[in-house]
């Protein structure tokens, strides 16, 4: 039971990363916020119930996630946050590598493996990211993207309680990623806390990086739900095409902003 719960926590983290990472994309789209009228043709047959779940999540976000993320960014120094972020990202390398291989991306698989070896050694277990300075740029892959590469359609848009945007393809992909993640193969009650911590820190860190951006989206959008739906799909489409809107890379916009101060 503990293992199943920890896997669920980790998957919650990944979904949170997807939803919150999409927020940074909005910096390029603020001039044209989405509206209900503009999105009538989207594949969202369960929109009515999706909107109910969206509002529930939004209330929970303001009550819990915003205060926690604000406290984290206030108390933890920026260098420490960056080191923790690098460490958590490095732990996800085996999942990325597996999906690189399943997508037939030999060069990207080589980059992922090289990054993992360099950052796990020279980077002191992944706390630092010397691989990027050596020209091995970070990228992200998941099994939802792998299914898309092999021709599986997204399916109808779903917004689930706690999990957030969860079209069938991405939902299935997250289950497979949880299975192939070596962290989930490690048993023992003591290790469960590590799994919980990894899941929690990813969600809190990403939420903290996008506090102002999400607030701006909600404030300026005619329809906040439709805006998030549109941003999520654009982010996923860019990630599938290995494009500039890879959601795992989007938080670096916040990283770069921090470096200016």
pLDDT value, residue 242: 85
pLDDT value, residue 190: 76
Q: Output the 3-class SS for the chain.
A: CHHHHHHHHHHHHHHHHHHHHHHHHHHHCCCCCCCCHHHCCCCCCCHHHHHHHHHHHHHHHHHHHHHHHHHHHHHCCHHHHHHHHHHHHHHCHHHHHHHHHHCCCHHHHHHHHHHHHHHHHCCCCCCCCHHHHCCCCCCCCCHHHHHHHCCCCCCCCCEECCCEECCHHHHHHHHHHHHHCHHHHCCCHHHHHHHHHHHHHHHHHHHHHCHHHHHHHHHHCCCHHHHHHHHHHHHHHHHHCCCCCCCCCCCHHHHHHHHCC
Mean pLDDT of all residues in 153-171: 93
Q: How does residue 258 score in pLDDT terms, banded at 50, 70 and 90?
A: very low
* Residue with the larger pLDDT of the pair 261 and 200: 200
pLDDT value, residue 187: 78
- Please determine, for residue 18, whether its predicted confidence score (pLDDT) is greater than 80: no
Q: Which of 17-21, 82-86, 142-146, 188-192 has the lowest mean pLDDT?
A: 17-21
pLDDT value, residue 243: 62
- Please determine, for residue 2, whether its predicted confidence score (pLDDT) is greater than 70: no
Question: What's the whole-number average pLDDT of the chain?
Answer: 82
pLDDT value, residue 40: 41
pLDDT value, residue 116: 98
Query: Whole-model pTM?
Result: 0.77
């Amino acid at each position: 039971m503990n293992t199943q719960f920890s896997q669920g926590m980790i998957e919650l983290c990944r979904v949170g990363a997807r939803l919150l990472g999409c927020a940074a994309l909005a910096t390029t789209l603020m001039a044209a916020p989405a509206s209900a009228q503009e999105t009538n043709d989207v594949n969202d047959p369960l929109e009515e119930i999706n909107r109910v779940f969206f509002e529930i999540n939004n209330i929970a976000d303001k009550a819990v996630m915003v205060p926690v993320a604000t406290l984290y960014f206030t108390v933890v120094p920026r260098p420490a946050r960056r080191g923790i972020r690098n460490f958590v990202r490095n732990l996800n390398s085996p999942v990325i590598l597996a999906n690189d291989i399943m997508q037939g991306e030999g060069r990207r698989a080589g980059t992922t493996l090289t990054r993992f070896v360099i950052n796990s050694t020279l980077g002191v277990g992944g706390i630092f990211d010397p691989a990027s300075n050596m020209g091995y740029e970070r990228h992200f892959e998941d099994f939802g993207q792998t299914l898309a590469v092999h021709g599986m359609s997204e399916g109808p848009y779903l917004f689930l309680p706690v999990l957030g945007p969860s079209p069938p393809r991405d939902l299935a992909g997250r289950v497979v990623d949880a299975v192939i993640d070596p962290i989930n193969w490690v048993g023992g009650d003591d290790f469960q806390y590590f799994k919980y911590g990894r899941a929690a820190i990813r969600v809190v860190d990403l939420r903290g990086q996008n506090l102002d951006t999400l607030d701006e989206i909600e404030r300026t959008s005619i329809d906040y739900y439709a805006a998030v739906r549109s941003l999520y799909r654009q982010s996923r489409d860019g990630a599938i095409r290995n494009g500039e809107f890879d959601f795992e890379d989007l938080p670096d916009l916040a990283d770069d902003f921090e470096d200016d101060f």
